[in-house]
Chains A and B, each alone.
Chain A
Amino acid sequence: MSAARDQTADPTAGGRVLLEGADIHRALTRIAHELLEANKGPADLLLLGIPTRGVPLAQRLAQRLLEVEGTVVPTGSLDVTMYRDDLRRHPTRPLLPTELPPEGLDDKVVVLVDDVLYSGRTIRAALDALSDLGRPRAVRLAVLVDRGHRELPIRADHVGKNLPTSAAERVSVLLAERDGRDAVVLSSAPSTEPEARA
C-alpha cells in the first residue's frame, strides 16, 4: 500500500523513466481526441477515475476535452475496493471516495480512467460497482499505461502507452497532483505493491 511507499525515500530510485511529463501530456491529449472521435463528440460522456491516480487523470482528460471542444465533460471517482476479489488476501484496505455527478450515470457513456492496466481485476471490480450504481449506455476504458499480463478477458479502448513488462518489474505512475512530478518509471523491484497489480 502507499504507506509502504511513503516510508521509502523514493521508490522509483534506480528505476528507468519511460515517460516524462511531456510524454504523459501528449498521450492524454491523444486519448482526449480519440474519445471525441469514437463518441462523435462530447455528448453524454462521463469520466470516472479509479482512485487514487485515475482521478487526477480523469480531471486532466476533462480539461483537454474542454480545450478541444469547449464543452465541460463531467468527472467523478469510483472506488472499487468493496468489489475486489482479493480483499481476503490483504490487510483491510481503507475506502476512498466515490463521487458521481448528481445526474447519475444512467444512459451516459462512462469512461473508466486508471493509471495502469495489469491483471484486469480492478476493472472487473469497477464493472461490478457500476452495475450497482446505474445503467450506463456504454462503458469504455482509458488507461495511461497497459503493461500486459491480463488475467481476465478485459482490454482498454484507449491506451497512453503499451509497455511490455515482466511480472518481476514494477511500473510506477507519478502525477504532479499527488507525487509532485509527472513520470512513468519502470523499476526491477518485485511487484509487491497492489498498485502494480492494478
Chain B
Amino acid sequence: MNRHLLSAADLDRAEAVAVLDVSEEMAATQRREIKKLPTLRGRTVVNLFFEDSTRTRTSFEAAAKRLSADVINFSAKGSSVSKGESLKDTALTLEAMGADAVVVRHWASGAPHRLAHAGWTRGSVVNAGDGTHEHPTQALLDAYTIRRHLRPAGGAGQGGTGQDLEGVRVTIVGDVLHSRVARSNVLLLHTLGAEVTLVAPPTLLPVGVEAWPCRVTNDLDAALADGAPDAVMMLRVQRERMESAGGGYFPSAREYTRRYGLGRSRLALLPGHTIVMHPGPMNRGLEISADAADSPRSTIVEQVGNGVAVRMAVLYLLLAGDGTTTTTSTGGPS
C-alpha cells in the first residue's frame, strides 16, 4: 500500500486482497469482549470533514480509537474554515498539531489529492469522499461484504481470506452521476476480478462512463433477470445535489421508483443467493423499498459494522509500519 489512500485505483489486486485479509482479522478482534488494541498508541489521526457525514466520520473515529490512536475531529462548521480559511492553512495547522494521518472529506473532487501532494502535511492522507469523485474505503467495505457472503470459508481462511472476487457479478443501480461510491466500486471491483454492470437513467450517468471498466445499461429488469447478479447495490438518489424533486434528472420520484427502484417484485427476480447492498443513508420508498431493505438478503446494517473493520485495516496498513512498502506476504514472524 502507498503512503496515501486517495483512489480505489491506488490498489492492485494483491494489495486489495491484503487489505481485505487484514480487515478479516480486525473484524475478529471486534467480536471480542475487549475491542481495543494498542497498535497505534501515540499516533494522531485527524478527521477533517468539510462536508456533513455522521456515519463515515464516526466509523473512522471508532476505527482509530479501537487501535488506540488519538483522534481529533475537525469539521468545517464551527471552525476557521467557515471564516474563510483555505485548505492549505487548515492543513498547515493540522501539521503543526502533529497529525500522522488526515482523513479528509471534501465537497470538491480532488481535494485529498491536493492535500497529499502539495507538501503541506507529512502525514498519510485518506480520502473519505471527495465531491462526486471517489470514496475508496466505502468500496473496500463493499468488496469485503461481498467476499464474506459469496466466498464461503475454504481451508484455513474464514470469510474468503486470500481470495479475490474473480467472476462475481455485481450490479450497481441508480444515481451514478453524483456517486463517488459507484466510481470507487467500479474501479476496485474490476481490480478484484468482478464483473460490474451499472444501471441508471441516461440523465444520471456521467460523461465518459463508457470508458469505465464495466457494462452500462438503462434497463433494470433485464439486468436483474438476465444478468443474474450475485450482488445488487442500490445507490442513494442524491437529492441535495439536485435542484427540485427530480432536479430535471427524472420526471418524478414515482417514475424513478417504478423504473429504477428495488421493490418486492424485482427482489423476486434475483437468484436465491444474491445479496442486496446500499451504502446508506437510504431514501426508503425511493430507490429501495422497505421490503428490500429489511429482507434477509440485505447486508445494509452489516456494511456499517464492516466499515469499522475495513477502516481499522486501512489505518493499520498506512500507519503501523515504518512507512516503507507494505509486505503483502501472508507469512509472518513467529
List chain A positions with a Cβ less than 8 A from chain B.
1-3, 5-6, 50-54, 79, 81-83, 87-98, 114-116, 122, 128, 132-134, 194-195, 197-198
* Distance of A96 Cα from B156 Cα, bound (Å): 11
Given contacts A82-B37, A98-B28, contact A51 B320 (CB under 8 A): no
* Distance of A1 Cα from B321 Cα, bound (Å): 13
20 A–B contacts from the bound complex (CB under 8 Å): A2-B329, A2-B332, A53-B334, A79-B25, A79-B332, A82-B29, A82-B38, A92-B320, A92-B321, A92-B326, A93-B320, A93-B327, A94-B18, A94-B332, A95-B332, A97-B28, A97-B158, A98-B28, A122-B333, A198-B334
Known: A3-B331, A96-B330. 11 other contacts (CB 8 A): A50-B334, A53-B334, A81-B332, A87-B39, A88-B321, A91-B324, A92-B1, A92-B327, A95-B22, A95-B26, A122-B333
Is B34 close to A, CB under 8 A? yes
CB pair A87 B328 closer than 8 Å? no
Is B32 close to A, CB under 8 A? yes
A198: chain B residues at CB < 8 Å are 333-334
Instruction: Give chain B's interface secondary structure class.
Output: loop
The 3 closest A-B pairs by CB, nearest first: A2-B331, A92-B321, A194-B333
CB pair B34 A92 closer than 8 Å? no
Is B243 close to A, CB under 8 A? no
Is B144 close to A, CB under 8 A? no
B28: chain A residues at CB < 8 Å are 97-98
* Distance of A79 Cα from B332 Cα, bound (Å): 10
* Distance of A94 Cα from B28 Cα, bound (Å): 15
Is B317 close to A, CB under 8 A? yes
* Distance of A122 Cα from B333 Cα, bound (Å): 9
B60: chain A residues at CB < 8 Å are none
What is the chain A residue whose CB lies nearest that of B331? A2
What is the chain A residue whose CB lies nearest that of B43? A88
B333: chain A residues at CB < 8 Å are 1, 81, 93, 122, 194-195, 197-198
CB pair A54 B334 closer than 8 Å? yes
What is the chain B residue whose CB lies nearest that of A85? B38
Is B322 close to A, CB under 8 A? yes
What is the chain B residue whose CB lies nearest that of A53? B334
* Distance of A53 Cα from B334 Cα, bound (Å): 6
CB pair B334 A94 closer than 8 Å? no
A133: chain B residues at CB < 8 Å are 32, 34
A89: chain B residues at CB < 8 Å are 322
A96: chain B residues at CB < 8 Å are 25, 330, 332
Q: Give the most central of A5, A96, A122: most B CB within 10 Å.
A: A96
The minimal Cβ–Cβ distance linking B142 to chain A, given in whole angstroms, is 21
Given contacts A1-B327, A122-B333, A132-B32, contact A91 B322 (CB under 8 A): yes
Is B50 close to A, CB under 8 A? no
The minimal Cβ–Cβ distance linking B45 to chain A, given in whole angstroms, is 15
CB pair A87 B321 closer than 8 Å? yes
A50: chain B residues at CB < 8 Å are 334
Given contacts A6-B331, A128-B38, contact A97 B156 (CB under 8 A): yes
* Distance of A122 Cα from B334 Cα, bound (Å): 8
CB pair A115 B334 closer than 8 Å? yes
Given contacts A79-B25, A91-B321, A133-B32, contact A1 B37 (CB under 8 A): no
The minimal Cβ–Cβ distance linking B264 to chain A, given in whole angstroms, is 39
Is B21 close to A, CB under 8 A? yes
Q: Give the most central of A82, A115, A132: most B CB within 10 Å.
A: A82
Interface string of B92-120 (1 = CB under 8 A from A): 00000000000000000000000000000
A134: chain B residues at CB < 8 Å are 33
* Distance of A79 Cα from B18 Cα, bound (Å): 16
* Distance of A2 Cα from B334 Cα, bound (Å): 10
Q: Give the most central of A94, A195, A198: most B CB within 10 Å.
A: A94
A98: chain B residues at CB < 8 Å are 25, 28-29
* Distance of A158 Cα from B318 Cα, bound (Å): 38
Contact partner, A95, options B21, B328, B334, Cβ 8 Å: B21
Interface string of B293-317 (1 = CB under 8 A from A): 0000000000000000000000011
Q: Give the most central of A89, A97, A116: most B CB within 10 Å.
A: A97
B58: chain A residues at CB < 8 Å are none
CB pair B25 A97 closer than 8 Å? yes
* Distance of A5 Cα from B330 Cα, bound (Å): 12
The minimal Cβ–Cβ distance linking A98 to chain B, given in whole angstroms, is 6
The minimal Cβ–Cβ distance linking A8 to chain B, given in whole angstroms, is 13
